[in-house]
Structure 1
Amino acid sequence: MTETPASLTSTQLGAYFAFTEVSSLLRHAVEKQLRDVGDLSYVQFQLLARLGDSPHGQQRMTDLADGVVYSRSGLTYQAQLLDQRGLVTRAPSPDDERSTVISLTEAGRDVLAAVFPGHIEALHSLLFAALSDSDIDELARILGAAAAHLRAIPPRSAAPRRRSRPEA
C-alpha cells in the first residue's frame, strides 16, 4: 500500500505554483484573443480545433467530451451555441442512433482560420519565447507524463465511456 505524503517539498510546491501561474496567465491571454477575433470561448475553440483535426471534420459528442475534459451536458450546451452560429452541425450517428455526431461547417473552418494565427502567436510569444528547444522538449515530456498519469485516474468527464457490445 502506498502512503500519502504528509506535505510537499518546497521544490514540489514551487513547481505547482509556477505551473498554475503559467496556466492561468496563458489561458487568460489565449481566451481574450479567441473572444476578440472569433467570439469563441476556450472550450468552443477546443471543440472546433479537434473537429478540424478529425477525419472528415466530425466526431461523436462523447469522444469530444472525453478529449476536452468537459462534462457531457456542458459540451452539449457549447455545441448548441456553435450550431446556432452555423459553425457546426449535429446529427444522430449513422452507426448508433443513441450517439450524436458533431461536424465542422465551412463557417467553422473560417473562424478557425481567423483565430489560429493570433492563437499561435500568443503561444509563441507568451510561452515558448522564454524556452529553448530542449526546454520545450522537456516540458512536453513532463506534461505528457503528468497528463497520462491523470488520464489513468480521470474524473468522469475525462474518462472514456465504456461501450457495451451486444453478445452474439
Structure 2
Amino acid sequence: MAKNPSGLDAAQLRAYFALMDVAGLLKHGVEQQLRDAGDLSYVQFQLLARLALNSETGSERMTDLADGVVYSRSGLTYQAGLLEKAGLVSRAPSVEDERGVTVSITDAGRERIATVLPGHGEVIRQQLFEPLSAADAETLADLLSPVRDHMRSAPPRSAAPRKKR
C-alpha cells in the first residue's frame, strides 16, 4: 500500500476531513441564523458576545478582542466600526494605553445579543449535538479542548498578543 503523501494516516485524514466538514457546515448554519435574526456577521456576534457575556464591565481593549476572536486587528477595527455605526458598541481611547482603543457594548448591543442567542443555541443544538449523546458531547469537548489549547499556545500572527514595550 502506497504511503499517503500528506504524511497522515487514514484515521487522521478521516478525522481531519470530518472536522473540517462539521466546522464548515456548522459555521454556515450559524452565520445564516445570525444574519436572519440579528443582521450580524459571525465576527460581529463574537465581539458582542465577548463583551456581553465574558466581560464583567462590558468593555475590552481592541487588541484583547482581536486576540480572543483570532481576527486581524485591522479587520476587527472595521467590524467594530460597523457595530458602532449600528449603535451596538461605542469606542473610546483606552485609559490603560494611550494608543489603544476600548470597545464597550451598548444597551442596544445587549438587546441584539439577547435576540439572537436563543436561535443561535438552537442551531448549534440541532446541527452539532442532536446526533450525539450527552457522553459523546463530553468526549468531543475532551478531545477538542487540548487541540484548541495547543493551537492557542502558538496563535497566528493576527491573534498573537502584542509584546509590552
Counterpart of 2:43 in structure 1 is: 43
Counterpart of 2:148 in structure 1 is: 147
Any stretches of 5+ residues in structure 1 without a counterpart? Answer: none
Q: TM-score, normalised by structure 1?
A: 0.92
- What are the within-5 Å matches in structure 2 for residues 22-41 of structure 1? 22-41=22-41
What is the Cα deviation at residue 39 of structure 1? 0.3
Counterpart of 2:59 in structure 1 is: 58
After superposition, what is the alpha-carbon deviation per residue over 1:102-129, rounded to whole angstroms, capped at 9, x for unaligned? 0000000010011000000001111011
Counterpart of 2:128 in structure 1 is: 127
CA RMSD of aligned residues (A): 1.1
Counterpart of 1:98 in structure 2 is: 99
* 2: CA distance, partners of 1:106 / 1:152: 34
Aligned partner letter, 1:24: G
Aligned partner letter, 2:63: T
Sequence identity percentage: 59
Counterpart of 1:82 in structure 2 is: 83
* 2: CA distance, partners of 1:61 / 1:153: 20
Is the alpha carbon distance of 1:11 and 1:51 closer, same or farther for their aligned partners in structure 2, counting shifts above 3 Å?
A: same
Aligned residue pairs total: 160
* 1: CA distance, partners of 2:99 / 2:146: 34
Q: TM-score, normalised by structure 2?
A: 0.94
Counterpart of 2:112 in structure 1 is: 111
Is the alpha carbon distance of 1:162 and 1:130 closer, same or farther for their aligned partners in structure 2, counting shifts above 3 Å?
A: same
Aligned partner letter, 1:40: L
Displaced runs of 4 or more, over 3 A: none
- What are the within-5 Å matches in structure 2 for residues 6-21 of structure 1? 7-21=7-21
SS of the equivalent of 1:130 reads coil
Aligned partner letter, 2:30: V
